[in-house]
Structure 1
Amino acid sequence: MSAALSAADDLATLSLAEAADALARGEVTSLALTEACLARIRRHDKALNSVIWLDEAAALEAAGAADRRRARGEALGPLHGIPMAHKDMYYQAGKPCSCGSAIRRDFRPAYTATVISRLEAAGALTMGGLNMAEFAQNPTGHNRHFGDCQNPWAQGRITGGSSSGSGVAVAAGFSFMALGSDTGGSIRLPASACGVTGLKPTQTRISRHGVMPLSFSCDNVGPLTRTARDCARVMAVLAGHDPKDPTSAREPVPDYEAALDGDLRGLRVGVPQEWFLEEVDADVLRAFEMSLGVLRGRGATVVPVRLAMMREVLTYGAIVSRTEAASIHANWMRDRPGDFAAHISGRLFPGYAVPATYYLEALSRRGPVLRGFARAAFGAVDLLATPAIPCALPSLAETDIDGGDPAALQRFAAVSRNTRPFNYLGLPAISIPCGFDDRGAPVGLQLAGRPFAEARVMQAADAFQRDTDWHSLRPKLA
């Protein structure tokens, strides 16, 4: 084992690609990686509250089995022996799956999500389930049932939601990758707030079979990792059609990692002149403008771009997500309304008042709106660049809306202002670390592309990370 991999903390804070490559070279064992992650969880998660359940014995047994398979020279997958934990809404047969709720606190599904099965087929092992916003329904990480996650960079600040535990676990060295879900920004928000990398793919790029839904038309499955290269390696495993999910795309899956060549010459990056920069805090804007300079240094051309149909995107997107969420939870809302947090009920109840004609209009207009938006944006540029979260991270107290404070509600809504549009449009978007705000919390750069342009999005993110070190910094844990 090299000197660089001699300490447990060093092992736990490797990127996924570094850990997988070290395993392949025989420099480290899966058991050592798993023990390192579990040790950090035991030492630090009492303060961070990112884990809902953990099966240490099963994880260590699986790690030992992975090492024995490697020693026997068996054919191995690209993630062989890598320990992971995931947002607690991915079904695993016989395992807990609370969805961050009181209603499903004791739920154990009878079957396994396709994405979990694909990770396991690639050799990854699952250690447990991670904290999340109740039923994936807030952008901040509040959870009254399991407690709020704490930001490892700035405790008391929001972690982003709804994949709050996933962002914390990757940032804190508890997991080399964590699945999140994204209906209005729930992968990109915790990635931005926790200083990690989070990819929302094109909506149909990854199967959603065996994943607790929030909005059929806006839900996305995707990874939170430490680097864009990690995302590319995981996407090679997760992407592709699944017969169990008829909505999953049949588009060929490219070699994502091969696209990471660092060369952005000829790439046109658009800075939207509508919506995305209208309410940006000064310290976030400084980090964003620095980021544009890095992209220019790699050969990209950065230009302003006008967007079309933003009013339609925002209005229709809100109608679709609210109405579908209300329908999914209708039985529980009738039978167990007191088991929802106040702000969850407050988000669901308006969905029952939306006329069916409005919902159908929002669905039927989705294709034309996407075409109009894409013509205006991607007729002029290849990618869009925006801040992921436009405001300096507020505190958990400042965004606690259960008390009905209008100012808290305004701050709560502002967190997901820049991520929500890409869910109704179904476009791929990534958040990568690009600095810190004036209070020491991370800032994220969001890059978005055409449908199924994940390779280009990750190529630009990887090129940015070649010339910056924000993604390699780790929070100092108590």
Structure 2
Amino acid sequence: MELDSLTIDGARAALASGEVTATALAELHYERIAARDGEIHSFLALSRERALEQSAKIDGMAARGEDLPVLAGVPVGIKDVLVMKGAPATAGSLILKGYRPPYDATAVAKLEAAGAVLLGKLNCDEFAMGSSNENSAYGPVLNPRALDRVPGGSSGGSAAAVAADFAVATLGTDTGGSIRQPAAFCGVVGVLPTYGRVSRYGLIAFASSLDRVGPLTKTVKDAATVLQVLAGHDVLDATSSERPVDDYVGGLSKPVEGLRIGVPEEYFGEGLDPEIRAAIDGVLAGLKTAGCVVKPVSLPHTKYAIPTYYVIATAEASSNLSRFDGVRFGLRSEEAKTLSEMFRKTRDAGFGAEVKRRILLGTYSLSAGYYDAYYRKAQQVRTLLTRDFLAAFAEVDVLVAPVTPTPAFKLGAKTDDPVQMYLEDIYSVAASLAGICGVSVPCGETRDGLPIGVQVMGRHFDEATMFRVAKAVEAGFESHG
């Protein structure tokens, strides 16, 4: 069976027709992982026993002629910051080496309840801190589209696994662009749901007011299908919304004619790669042809988004990562003679350079005498950024913009310059700070064959409109591909 273009609908149709069993489909994906992932390194651990148990369950349902759930037999990978019962949960860090949680994250449990087959855990930047997936303690992930390039981060393993056809869909997390940016770099679809739309229960936290769980898939319809499964209130997560979930998949068939498309002028200035600019101009022309109204808008506080994000995110990381001390789970230094020495030596050995950098930055901005100047001020600017989006959405239905300033860059190109690495998130962090939804959709390629993604951003909890426009973008790209 060809896996290169296998979608959720394709997998379910093949199962229903008897062309393939769920067990055979899982084994086909494991064979592909065994053959190619040695060079790409997207998976950190495989959960073969659990996957085959679920596959057998789905095969039994099919044999009895029962209605199959929406993700029946669909092979899925899970980013290693989301816990799966009995499977390693390292968050890409040495400090959690050997930790096997006793429960499933809500997002993981929902996927399995919908029939998904969980193949294993995916590589990522340590504690989701990074834009290239070079910060994993277990080695970098390579971009399947160009093995000398990064896949993006921090959900690089999640994007690479879909791009390499190791999984039909994966879960990633996005704190400042960590789903959308790797999706753009690897040429797949990646969704940032509205904050509170998907439960964060079972997510190893980086920055709790920013972290979100979302899908990476091959098509917009697949992304809408997976988000439909994930979305909804969870009593185990106090930040999850009780707001009803729209019919994302059903809404894809609605025309986009008459929708107002905003183009934020601040996202098209100096530093944007001309090939990305040209691809997005093509997207906007296609949307005009489809009957959309395209108009410029302004998000005037955009230039403050990067410093605001890196104050708030590092402050929250400093707080969240204080629990990793060698006492409760994971690594513990054997060299220490006293309790304080154990804390210090465990954290020094367990955390990588980027995580240490962010803990130090966050601790500084929260410290006495600096809280008002940094963290409090950043939260005030965050409010201004959110108001920019609310004002724009009073005039338009969605915003269309670049995801990244450049295509996927070469491995090692930015590792010695943290500021340049942070600037990779220049077009993604504002949406994260504002809590709105967004999706990265493939829209072209560079002359060198590197994928280009376009970002469609929607109002809070208006994923349905966002998906409609994303579908139109995808259809335009496929018609010219």
Task: Give your verdict on TM over 0.5.
Answer: yes
Aligned to 1:441: 450
CA distance in 2, matches of 1:245, 1:144: 27
Aligned to 2:295: 303
Aligned to 2:42: 50
Q: Give the C-alpha shift of residue 66 in structure 1.
A: 1.1
Aligned to 2:402: 387
Question: Which among 344, 347, 353 is matched to residue 342 of structure 1?
Answer: 353
CA distance in 1, matches of 2:91, 2:137: 11
Aligned to 1:148: 140
Aligned to 1:411: 420
- Does the CA contact (< 8 Å) of 1:262 and 1:298 recur in 2? no
CA distance in 1, matches of 2:285, 2:322: 48
* Cα distance change of structure 1 residues 375 and 342 upon mapping to structure 2, 3 Å threshold: closer
Please tell me the residue identity of whatever aligns with 1:462: K
Q: How many residues align?
A: 457
Unaligned runs of 5+ in 1: 1-7, 402-407, 474-478
Question: Which among 68, 74, 97 is matched to residue 76 of structure 1?
Answer: 68
- Does the CA contact (< 8 Å) of 1:178 and 1:223 recur in 2? yes
Unaligned runs of 5+ in 2: 326-342
Please tell me the residue identity of whatever aligns with 1:89: V
Please tell me the residue identity of whatever aligns with 2:251: A
Let me know the Cα RMSD of the aligned residues.
2.0
Please tell me the residue identity of whatever aligns with 1:216: S
Q: Give the C-alpha shift of residue 158 in structure 1.
A: 1.1
Aligned to 1:359: 375
TM-score by length of 2: 0.90
- Does the CA contact (< 8 Å) of 1:195 and 1:470 recur in 2? no
2:107 is the alignment partner of 1:115 = yes
CA distance in 1, matches of 2:441, 2:305: 24
- Does the CA contact (< 8 Å) of 2:306 and 2:423 recur in 1? no
Per-residue CA shift, 1:449-472, capped at 9, x if unaligned?
A: 11011111111111122232299x
CA distance in 1, matches of 2:93, 2:479: 33
CA distance in 2, matches of 1:69, 1:277: 55
CA distance in 2, matches of 1:197, 1:212: 23
CA distance in 2, matches of 1:19, 1:109: 30
CA distance in 1, matches of 2:137, 2:299: 40
Please tell me the residue identity of whatever aligns with 2:360: F
TM-score by length of 1: 0.91
- Does the CA contact (< 8 Å) of 2:261 and 2:294 recur in 1? yes
CA distance in 1, matches of 2:420, 2:377: 30
CA distance in 1, matches of 2:48, 2:4: 16
Per-residue CA shift, 1:123-143, capped at 9, x if unaligned?
A: 112111011111100011103
**Stretch deviating more after TM superposition (166-175 or 340-349):** 340-349
Aligned to 1:464: 473
Matches within 5 A, 1:197-236: 197-236=189-228
Q: Counterpart of 1:274 in 2: which secondary structure?
A: helix
CA distance in 2, matches of 1:40, 1:459: 33
Please tell me the residue identity of whatever aligns with 2:36: H
Q: Counterpart of 2:455 in 1: which secondary structure?
A: strand
* Cα distance change of structure 1 residues 423 and 305 upon mapping to structure 2, 3 Å threshold: same
Please tell me the residue identity of whatever aligns with 1:388: V
Please tell me the residue identity of whatever aligns with 1:209: Y
Question: Which among 255, 260, 263 is matched to residue 255 of structure 2?
Answer: 263
Q: Give the C-alpha shift of residue 144 in structure 1.
A: 4.8
- Does the CA contact (< 8 Å) of 2:135 and 2:354 recur in 1? no
Aligned to 2:164: 172
Aligned to 1:284: 276
Per-residue CA shift, 1:323-349, capped at 9, x if unaligned?
A: 001111235475312322222212221
**Stretch deviating more after TM superposition (227-236 or 283-292):** 283-292
CA distance in 2, matches of 1:89, 1:413: 21
- Does the CA contact (< 8 Å) of 1:11 and 1:19 recur in 2? no
- Does the CA contact (< 8 Å) of 1:308 and 1:376 recur in 2? no
**Stretch deviating more after TM superposition (58-67 or 212-221):** 58-67
**Stretch deviating more after TM superposition (430-439 or 420-429):** 430-439
Q: Counterpart of 2:477 in 1: which secondary structure?
A: coil
